[in-house]
Each structure stands twice: as C-alpha cells, then as structure tokens.
Structure 1
Amino acid sequence: MRLSLRITPVLFLLGLGLNACVQNSVSPVVQRPLSPDCVQEFDPSRDYFPDKVQVEFATGFEVDYHGHYKRVTLASPHPEANDPVEYVLVQCGTPIPDDIGEATVVEVPVPSVVVLSTTYLPHFAALDRVNRLVGMSDTQITQTPAVIERVKQQKIRDVSRNQVVNVEAILSLNPDIVMTFDAGGSSSDTVLMLENAGLRVVLNSEYLEMSPLGRSEWLKFTALFLNQEGKAKEVFEEIRADYQELSQRVAAAIADDTSRPTVFTGFSSTNTWYVPGANSYAAQFLRDAGADYLWDDLDSQWTVPLDFEVVYQRARDADFWVNVNSNWRTRADVIEDDPRYGNFAAWQGDRIYNNSKRVNEFGGNDYWEMGILYPNLILADLIQIFHPNLLPDAEKTYYQKLE
C-alpha cells in the first residue's frame, strides 16, 4: 500500500530552526568506522561488483558499472519530471569519482535505511537485508513477516502515521538513506523538506511501471544500494519464470477468443467511475490472465473518469467484475452503496471478486505490498477466477469472492 506523504505545518514553520539544527548535528556524509563491508585498501584495477544486474522489464531506471562505483539513472522520477535523477553508488572505503556532476553520492552497501512506502519492504526481506531497516511509514499496516518481527523487537521505528511524516523521528535514526517516491504535488514538498533537513533521499518510481514484471524488477534497484545483485537476480528469475509460464499456459488454452471471459473493474464514486486504460498495470494482468478487458481500446496508462451510465452500457453483461470497493465484503454491501449495481450481470451471477483477502485490521493490503514483488501470485489468482480448470487445486492468495 502506497502512502501519500505530508509534513506537519508545525514542522514547516519550524523549518529554519530545524535546518539550523540539522546542519549542526547531521552531515550529508555520515562518518562511521569502517565496517566489514568496506574496502580496507583500495585497488583501482579491481572490479568490486562481480555480480551485476541487467534491467529487462522495468523502464524507469538503468545502471552502469564502473569498477568501484555504479551510476544509477532514473529517467523520470515522477510524471511531471523533465530531468532524470542520478545516484552514484560508491563502494564503501573507495574514493568518490571526479565526474559525478549533480548526482547524489551514496556509499554502499548502506548500513541503515528508512522507507516511506510499504511496497519496498518485501525487497529487504527477499534480499535478506531486513536488518538494514531502521524506520518505515506506519508499522501497523505492513504484512511482511520479517519486518513485523523486527517491529515487535522495536528495531524498526514508525516515522509516519496517518500520512504525516515525522521528520524529527527520521533525524533521530540518522539513516544513510531515506527511500521514498515523488508523485508530484504534496509528495514533492515532502521530498524537498526531507532534503532540506539534511537527509539523503533516494527516489523510487516503481509505481510508474505499467507491467507487472516491470514493477517487480525494481527489486534490483533496491539491491544496488545493498550490493545484493546476485540475490536479486536469483529471486527475480524465479518470479519471471513462473509469471511467464502461467501466462503462456493461458495463451495456449485460449487460442479461440470466444473462450476469453469479459471483465471490468472498479466502482463509481459520486457518479464517476475511474476506468484503467489499456496500457495500465491492471489491464496487463487481465490480458495475461486470459480475460477480455472491456476497455482494452482505451489508449491510456492511467485511469480515465467515465460516467456511471457509460460504464453500465458497456459492462452490464460482463462475465466478471474485479478490483471493487475495498469496503465491500458482500453482494449486499454493493447494492447498499448504489442499487443500480444490482443490474450488472456479474452481480446477479455472483461473479464479483476483490483483491482484499490479505487485509489486516489496520487496513494494510498485502496485494499492494508482497503482491508488487510477486505478481506471479496475483496472476495465478486471476487465472483461477477466469479459467479455474487451468489451476484446479490452487488456493487464491489475494483475491476472494464477495459473499
């Protein structure tokens, strides 16, 4: 679950005093004793990164290796960005290169990290580096087991609650980096405030990826800061292989288009229905699962607002309805919100499914946490819904039928 982040007005008003305090207490480059991860004696002829990643599906970042440092480039850190963002990741104990330009320098592997989106947490678990996490946004909503255990041990601190970032809490942890996202608007203000506080911010724009494997591959981005490229390649290869095997199995089974059930998504809010475009993350899942998405002709990667009646005219006879209001638990809840929903064939035929099976008591939805890294599990769920004969004995991970 991604959170939009804000800074409290009090902290903003105290900005000048806070910045002065930060300048006295926090240096942009934190001085620590050399750890076992650091180079004790630099050899300019040595390749310090024998395990290297190549980016296959993600379009938002790339990496170039240079012996003792890596140059990581984000082509577009947020939708409104005009310029790329660069990070130079220098092996700890080796010199900073001369030609860094305006890039942010980070010594790797980073000893301590604060993350402001739960979508990054499974990366640290998969890379066996949860011990590097010292702070996160809203500890109550995470569903990553290794992270939950560290929270219980009070080794990971809550630095954001109710979408408000506690800058002072982050400063007290003195992290090497703060990994977050910039979606423009208020989140850009948050990034600026963190940077003005003397914190080293690393932007992660996986949310801009419109393919499931593209978002999953941002595991490699996180791995670059931890020198865990070898592990990242191993984990991602398993995910990729499973996802593609599932999609190929479906493709072989539905060579005849008439075997593809029709599907639509979402719900109406104040008579406006936001429909995912054909190039969106959601639409890609539906295609790969062998469904006929009714808005596959909508040329957009974002959701598009439509009137209720426009959606009804196209979707009233659809076979399935998925990704609905998270507050709906039963079919009765659906028509209680709006009796017109009862006219959809999917409601009448008891074929409404939601990605809410793994939601905890605080509203944390694992679909938007572990599911981002493991899209193969989401795809398997959707295949079971649309083509149950292909995975007859499987148990759904994220989806459940409305009662």
Structure 2
Amino acid sequence: MKATFFTIFTLFLFLACKKESSAKLNDWQIISENVQFKDEGNVFHLKSGKFDYTVPMAKLPFKKVILLNASLVGYFTELNSEQNIIGISSPEYVYSKKVQQMISDGKIQNVGNEQKYNLEKIIALKPDVIFTNYIASFENTYDLIKKNGIEIIFLDEYLEQNPLEKLKYLVLFGKLFNREKKAVAHFEIIEKRYDSLKTVAKKSVNKPVVLANEMYGNQWFLPGGKSNLAQFISDANATYINAGSLDSKAIPMSFEEVFAKAQKAEYWVNIGNHVNKKELLQINQNYTKLPVFNDGKLYTVNGREVSKSNDYFESGVVRADLVLKDYIKIFHPELLPNYQLTYLRELK
C-alpha cells in the first residue's frame, strides 16, 4: 500500500514539475523563431537572434528612440508613435509624410548613415534606446554607444520570411512603448484580413506562373522558395518559378538559368523603380528574349515612392494584408474588381 502511495505521489510531483516547467516556457511571447519576450517580475526579457536583453521594467515604456534603419518606421507609424522617434539614420529613405515633416521641423534629427553615423549627435540626444540591424563590422561603434549608457537592441526584421511574423514585431514595439493593446488589436485585424484574402485567392482555379526581381550587373538575384516574396506569391494562389528552392535568401543566377525557368511565366513582379519597359531594357537588352517581357504583365514596387523612399519597404512591412491584396489583384483581377493597387504599379 505504501509503495503504491509513494508511486502515485512521485508521479504527481513529476507531472506537477513538468506542468510548471511547461508553464515557464509558455511565459514567452513568441514573435518568430528569432524573437520572443516575456515579463518576469520587475524585469523584461527579450531574445533577438543571438542577443539576450534584460531591461528593468522601471525603464519601460521607452520614450525616446533612435532608429538606425528606416524599415522600422512602419511599426511606429502604425501605432501613431512617431513622437517617440528623436533621431533616424538615412532619413531620405523614409516615406512617411508625418515623419518627414518632423524631420523638417527639427523634432527628429538626422544621425548620419551606415557609411558614417554622427556619434556625437547620437550621444547628445540621450535616447532611451536605439534599434538597428546588427552589422558585425560596426561592433566598435556599438561598444562606444553602450559605454555612454545607451541601450542598443538589435532587431533583424528583414530576416523574417513569414509576412505575418514580420508584422508581429508590432506587438513587441507595442510592449516597449506602452501601446500593447493597440498593437495586439492591429496585429489581429491585419492577420485576420490576410487570412481572409488567402481564402479569397483560393477561389481561382488558375495559378499563373510568376517571375520575380531583375538583374544587377551579370547576376539575377532570384528570391528563394522560402523567401518572403515566395510566401506572398503562394498565398496569392500563384506559382512561383523558384518555389522548389529551399533557400530563404535571393539566389544569384545567370540570365540563362532564369530564362530556362521562366519560359511559362505570365507575370513578372517586384521589378525595380523603372518608369517604363523601355527604361528597363536600358539595363539589359536580354529581357526581350523573355516571353513574359513580350506577352506577359510586368509590375514594379514603386506604386508609392518619393525620391529615394519607397513605402513597400516601410508601411508594407506592417500592412502585409495590403501587399497580399496587391498580388491577388495582379494574378486574379476578377476576384477584386474594385480594388486599386497600393504598393505595386504596372510597367508598360
């Protein structure tokens, strides 16, 4: 009897410990495989890539931020948190009219660019935090900033290949800037719209073949089959010519290699910021050999572009639903008869 009781008691303890361990693991808010965070008492924990951060809750919410890559601006505009930005690098790449006005008014300072950051200005601004992509060659710059008591958080959102996981960074920013309820609400709305649009796209029995990107020099950097663009094309119910690739990055190929893959392509998307097809040919006359160039439809990503800034890479990072809607409109126009393209534009 005692042996039976001991066995049951031991099993109970094991299950209780296992449940507690599982609960601790589940405390983490998962953004993606690369990013997760959790509250633990008076401390906020963040894992981002190979970096771990421990921020006292007393320092949150952050109030003053410097952004060293413009692609993060979209998260702040979505949350109406532009007022938290006090400095930004390469401001010429920012599309947001509100942020550009704040730069003109001196409310947001230009802190240089990747060739040369203005460290004196960055330190003088005394931001609560700096967000940037991690670049190994800038380690000395990062160390100098940290020695001046400034927190640097590395967020490589550009590495995220799932559009909804890239969108979900919004929840992290909401947490850090006291916009959590708004961030979660916006994420859920956009996610729901995205999933609904995927369902709409599946109504078409036609799955047109799609070519993407263009040549730079002697190489065509064709997005891999696990890339963000490949996911958009798949969710829009189309067939990407490089879908079979297991790469998440763009793969350098010769024109001949792409030519062989693209024989059945009906659409060519995410071409650079060209004005027309004639201008595109000035880059490479070989394009005339592609059946899609002569008989298909071509689309650039400069539907919302001003000078060097392009909103496809700014608000488009957050508004995954509108990006998907563009691709569905292109591949299956009959499904969205009243919709006008937001980020993409037909090249004629």
One of 186, 203, 210 as aligned partner of 2:137: 186
CA separation in 1, counterparts of 2:335 and 2:30?
Answer: 28
Q: Cα deviations across residues 115-143 of structure 1 (Å, max 9, x unaligned)?
A: 11112222222223222111011223312
Equivalent-residue separation in structure 2 for 1:112 and 1:302 (angstroms): 33
Q: Distance in 2 between matches of 1:387 and 1:143?
A: 29
The answer to whether structure 1 residue 114 and structure 2 residue 60 are counterparts is: no
Q: Which residue of 2 aligns with 1:323?
A: 270
Letter in 2 for 1:236: F
Counterpart contact for 2:266–2:296, Cα < 8 Å: no
Q: CA deviation at 1:68?
A: 3.1
Equivalent residue, structure 2, for 1:177: 129
Cα distance in 1 for residues equivalent to 2:84 and 2:221: 38
How far apart are the structure 1 equivalents of 2:208 and 2:138? Answer: 39
Task: Give the match's secondary structure for 1:311.
Answer: helix
Report the counterpart of residue 81 of structure 2 in structure 1: 129
2:56 partner SS: strand
How far off is 1:56 after superposition?
5.6
The 2-side partners of 1:372 and 1:267 are apart by 21
SS of residue matched to 2:271: coil
When residues 113 and 260 of structure 1 are mapped into structure 2, their CA distance, relative to the original with a 3 A threshold, is same
Amino acid at match of 2:43: Y
Partner residue, 1:88 = 54
TM-score, normalised with respect to structure 2 = 0.87
TM-superposed deviation, 1:54: 7.2
Q: Which residue of 2 aligns with 1:389?
A: 334
On the 8 A contact 2:28/2:38 being kept in 1, the answer is no
| Residue number in structure 2 paired with 1:15 | none
Deviation for aligned residue 1:89: 2.9
1:185 and 1:54, CA in 2 relative to 1: closer, same or farther beyond 3 A? closer
Equivalent residue for 2:42? 68
- TM-superposed CA distance for 1:290, in Å, is 1.2
Q: Residue in 1 aligned with 2:208?
A: 261
**Residues 99-157 of structure 1: CA deviation (Å, up to 9, x unaligned):** xxxxxxxx111121111111222222222322211101122331223322322321111
Report deviation, 1:317: 3.1
Change (3 A) 1:325 1:145: closer
Judge conservation of contact 2:268–2:296 (CA < 8 Å) in 1.
no
Matched residue type, 2:105 = Q
1:338 lines up with 2:284 in the alignment = yes
Segments of 5+ residues of structure 1 without an aligned counterpart are 1-52, 77-83, 93-106
Match of 1:224 among 171, 175, 182: 175
Give the 5 Å matches for 1:214-253: 214-251=165-202, 253=203
Q: Indicate whether 1:59 and 2:10 are aligned.
A: no
RMSD: 1.9
Distance in 2 separating the partners of 1:131 and 1:388:
39
**Residues 36-85 of structure 1 deviation map (CA, whole Å, 9 limit, x = unaligned):** xxxxxxxxxxxxxxxxx9746622211122233321112x2xxxxxxx32
Report the counterpart of residue 317 of structure 2 in structure 1.
Answer: 372
1:296 is the counterpart of 2:243:
yes
1:133-152 aligned at under 5 Å gives the runs 133-152=85-104
Structure 1, residues 173-207: CA drift from partner, whole Å, max 9, x if none? Answer: 1111111111x443445434433554321111211
Cα distance change on mapping 1:174 and 1:333 into 2, 3 Å: same
Are the counterparts in 2 of residues 55 and 217 from structure 1 also a CA contact under 8 Å?
no
Q: Distance in 2 between matches of 1:189 and 1:359?
A: 34
Take 1:358 and 1:91, find their aligned partners in 2: how far apart are those partners?
Answer: 39
Q: How does 1:6-85 map to 2 (within 5 A)?
A: 55=29, 58-74=32-48, 76=49, 84-85=50-51
TM-score by length of structure 1 reads: 0.75
Aligned residues: 322
Hey, what's the Cα distance between the residues in 2 that align with 1:372 and 1:354?
17
Distance 1:54 1:384 in 2: 37
Change (3 A) 1:284 1:148: same
Structure-2 separation of matches of 1:265 and 1:292: 11
| Counterpart-to-counterpart distance in 1, 2:227 and 2:140 | 27
Aligned residue for 1:111, secondary structure, equals coil
Change (3 A) 1:189 1:355: farther
Percent of aligned positions with the same letter in both sequences? 26
For residue 323 of structure 1, give the secondary structure of its aligned residue in structure 2: strand
Displacement after TM superposition at 1:88 (Å): 2.2
- Larger helix proportion of the pair: 2
**1:314 has 2:261 as partner:** yes
Distance verdict in 2 for CA 1:246–1:373, change over 3 Å: same
How much does 1:371 deviate? 0.4
